[in-house]
């Protein structure tokens, strides 16, 4: 089964890259756990292109916790305007940076428990940061949740349940590939609305031939 699962990830990655999925093309500028953390916070309820624009503007002024902690909320707001809930996020980002400086010597704590205590950081965001730091985990967003259920890999209603079940199905060495492969595939082929089932190479999908 694990070979088949690896093949599944390869198919998803290939199809996504062929179609220039944003998840594979837009994040190359993220250099360290701090930038991955800030980008992940900015990205919730925001299109990737908008997040990238805001992230680049913000990092041009503040690419470390110290610099971000010294900025005014208003200044952060102006740089990230356009991302969803930017006013709330600006406040959270400043607070988060202050905590990193004060409690973690300006480093990002790489544990789920500590990350999820930071303002504006939920389980998905924390898992994205851990995964980007090569700590095995599966970050479940709407794409991962939706496609796992469509394919019948899991039968769940909540992302946390999906994470738990996927961790039982996929061998640990594949965990860190799951998010990117599923997100890229979800952005380009297995879209939320009108998925491209007639172009999809996953011929065992139980949803083939069904209407959406
Ligand atoms: S056949 Fe359709 S629903 Fe199934 S994985 Fe492919 S695009 Fe998604």
Please give the DSSP secondary-structure letter assigned to residue 134.
T
Q: Nearest residue CA, atom 3 of ligand 1?
A: 207
Strands in 38-134 per DSSP E:
none
The architecture that CATH gives domain 33-132 is Orthogonal Bundle (1.10)
Which residues belong to CATH 1.10.340.30 in the chain?
A: 33-132
Place of tokens 């709330």: 88
With a 6 Å cutoff on the Cβ, whether 201 touches ligand 1 is no
CB contact at 8 A, 129 and 115:
yes
With a 6 Å cutoff on the Cβ, whether 186 touches ligand 1 is no
With a 6 Å cutoff on the Cβ, whether 200 touches ligand 1 is yes
Fold of 2-19+138-199: Endonuclease Iii, domain 2 (1.10.1670)
Token couple for 8: 């599944």
With a 6 Å cutoff on the Cβ, whether 208 touches ligand 1 is yes
Q: Nearest residue CA, atom 4 of ligand 1?
A: 205
* Cβ-based neighbours of 25, under 8 Å, separated by 6 or more: none
Q: Give the count of beta carbons closer than 10 Å to the beta carbon of residue 9.
A: 17
With a 6 Å cutoff on the Cβ, whether 150 touches ligand 1 is yes
From first to last of its 212 residues, what are the pLDDT tens digits of the chain? 555 999 999 999 999 999 999 888 877 789 899 999 999 999 988 988 899 999 999 999 999 999 999 999 999 999 999 999 999 999 999 999 999 999 999 999 999 999 999 999 999 999 999 999 999 999 999 999 999 999 999 999 999 999 999 999 999 999 999 999 999 999 999 999 999 999 999 999 998 777 66
124 carries an active-site annotation? yes
- Cα 172 from Cα 104, distance rounded (Å): 28
In the set 124, 158, 167, 191, the catalytic residue is 124
CB contact at 8 A, 31 and 198:
no
Which residues belong to CATH 1.10.1670.10 in the chain?
A: 2-19+138-199
Confidence (pTM): 0.90
Nearest to 52 by CA among 30, 19, 76: 30
Q: How far is the CA of 51 from the centre of ligand 1 (A)?
A: 27
């Amino acid at each position: 089964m694990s070979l088949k699962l690896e093949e599944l990830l390869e198919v998803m990655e290939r199809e996504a890259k062929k179609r220039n999925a944003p998840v594979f093309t837009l994040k190359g500028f993220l250099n360290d756990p701090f930038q991955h953390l800030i980008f992940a916070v900015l990205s919730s309820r925001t299109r990737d292109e908008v997040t990238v624009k805001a992230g680049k503007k913000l990092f041009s002024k503040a690419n470390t916790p110290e610099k971000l902690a010294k900025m005014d909320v208003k200044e952060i707001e102006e740089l990230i305007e356009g991302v969803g809930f930017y006013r709330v996020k600006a406040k959270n980002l400043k607070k988060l940076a202050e905590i990193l400086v004060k409690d973690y010597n300006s480093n990002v704590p790489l544990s789920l428990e500590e990350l999820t205590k930071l303002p504006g950081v939920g389980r998905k965001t924390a898992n994205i940061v851990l995964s980007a730091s090569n700590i095995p985990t599966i970050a479940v967003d709407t794409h991962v949740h939706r496609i796992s259920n469509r394919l019948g890999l899991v039968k769940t209603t909540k992302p946390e349940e999906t994470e738990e079940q996927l961790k039982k199905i996929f061998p640990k060495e594949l965990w860190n590939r799951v998010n990117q492969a599923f997100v890229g595939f979800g952005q380009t082929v297995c879209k939320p609305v009108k998925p491209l089932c007639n172009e999809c190479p996953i011929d065992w999908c139980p949803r083939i031939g069904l209407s959406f």
